[in-house]
Amino acid sequence: MKLKIAALVIGATFGMTGMAHAAGQIVIKFSHVVAPDTPKGKAAEYFKKLAEERTKGKVSVQVYPNSQLYKDKEELEALQLGAVQMLAPSLAKFGPMGVKEFEAFDLPYLFDNYDEVHKVTQGAIGQQLFSKLESKGIKGLAYWDNGFKNFSSNKPIRTPADLKGTKIRIQGSKVLEEEMRTLGALPQVMAFSEVYQALQTGVVDGTELEPSNLYTSKAYEVQKQLTLTGHGYLGYAVVVNKKFWDGLPADVRTTLEGAMKDTTKYELQLAKQDSDKAIAAIKASGKTQVYTPTPAEKAAFKKTLQVVHEKMADRVGKDLLKSVEKETGYVAPK
């Protein structure tokens, strides 16, 4: 670990200035943990294209997908130290850093659709949350969608009771841990890059993944059942090292902000399309049986998981939760 931290600090000497460069270019290392053909992967490349075109080559964006540089647990530390300049981590990643409010996005069935999500992420609440990152040396630029999570396993999942005793891979989040315990499942925190092998070897029995990541990681090939519970939202925050960002020339920063705004419009449209395509491709593969719950079955999951909202309200912030519920029109199941 000491060697790894030392390497990050050495990288920070280069990265924090934002000006170390071949031919005077400003280099932005944009690291992420998923495949290039996911919504996040495609959007990262789109941002690279716009940023380099609009700055007329002043900026070079180097995209590193598939955990090429850092795994899930390492990437935010690398950003804070300046070893990379830009990331798009899932929103749950900020909870372990002490910004627990972001774990509100992990609450089950808090959002029913993308429109409800965008009322929060693209509005005042989203900006308020970003402001809480600045004391950590992080600047929030945009929120990107991935999709709504579903349960996969090697056995049929029709009711909450079907998950009892099942080892489910989750991201590091106290909210997600509580969600799994409420269902009687056994939460297993691990990096996304380790999921396929863990499923293949039986280290975990199942996942809660959104369609695009389930498909592009090929995790569906080592799962027999997928139930479209849509029980949780997975989104990303595009963030930069604050010192690096503040140190950019004003005209370059303004240009990059415009490129990110246009990239975000592209990504939000892409996420929904890719989720639908991924589900269709998984069905067509014949490797996994895809099941759509009846309204009554989905209502049973919602009712069972409502207790997670109550237990986690203090952790994510009662006032924040009330604001989100008011914005989206959330109604607790009875």
Q: Domain boundaries in the chain?
A: 2-328
Q: For residue 72, what pLDDT band results from cuts at 50, 70 and 90?
A: confident
DSSP letter for 77, please.
H
User: In the Cβ-directed half-sphere of 120, how many Cα atoms lie within 13 Å?
Assistant: 29
Rounded Cα distance between 208 and 147, Å, is 11
What pLDDT was estimated at residue 67? 85
CATH for 2-328 (3.40.190.170, 3.40.50.300, 3.40.47.10, 3.40.190.10): 3.40.190.170
Which residues are 140's β-sheet partners?
Answer: 239
Rounded Cα distance between 319 and 20, Å, is 44
pLDDT tens for residues 270-322? 999 999 999 999 999 999 999 999 999 999 999 999 999 999 999 999 999 99
Q: What is the mean pLDDT of residues 173-177?
A: 95
pLDDT tens for residues 211-220? 999 999 999 9
pTM of the model: 0.89
Query: What sign results for the dihedral spanned by CA atoms 167, 299, 271, 37?
Result: positive
Instruction: Residue 280: count other Cβ atoms within 10 Å of its Cβ.
Output: 13
C-alpha distance across the termini of the chain, in Å:
49
Phi, psi of 66, rounded to the nearest 5 degrees: 55, 35
Query: What sign results for the dihedral spanned by CA atoms 38, 40, 44, 50?
Result: positive
For residue 85, give the nearest of 25, 39, 28, 21 by alpha carbon.
Answer: 28
What is the amino acid identity at position 67?
Answer: S
The helix/strand/coil state of 247 is: coil
Work out whether strand 186-189 and strand 167-170 pair parallel, antiparallel, or are unpaired: parallel
Question: Is 3 a residue whose pLDDT tops 50?
Answer: no
pLDDT tens for residues 304-314? 999 999 999 99
293 in Cβ contact with 228 (< 8 Å): yes
Q: What is the chain's mean pLDDT, rounded?
A: 92
Mind giving me the DSSP string for 7-68?
Answer: HHHHHHHHHTTS---GGGPEEEEEE-SS-TTSHHHHHHHHHHHHHHHHTTTSEEEEEE-TTS
CA 316 centroid distance within chain: 17
Q: pLDDT above 70 covers what percent of the chain?
A: 93
What is the amino acid identity at position 87?
Answer: L
For residue 229, give the nearest of 305, 323, 145 by alpha carbon.
Answer: 305
Rounded Cα distance between 201 and 269, Å, is 36
Instruction: Residue 38: count other Cβ atoms within 10 Å of its Cβ.
Output: 26
What is the amino acid identity at position 61?
Answer: V
Rounded Cα distance between 144 and 154, Å, is 30
DSSP letter for 293, please.
P
pLDDT tens for residues 4-31? 544 444 444 444 444 444 458 999 999 9
Rounded Cα distance between 195 and 214, Å, is 10
Supply 86's token pair.
Answer: 């830009």
Q: What is the mean pLDDT of residues 89-112?
A: 94
What pLDDT was estimated at residue 23? 54
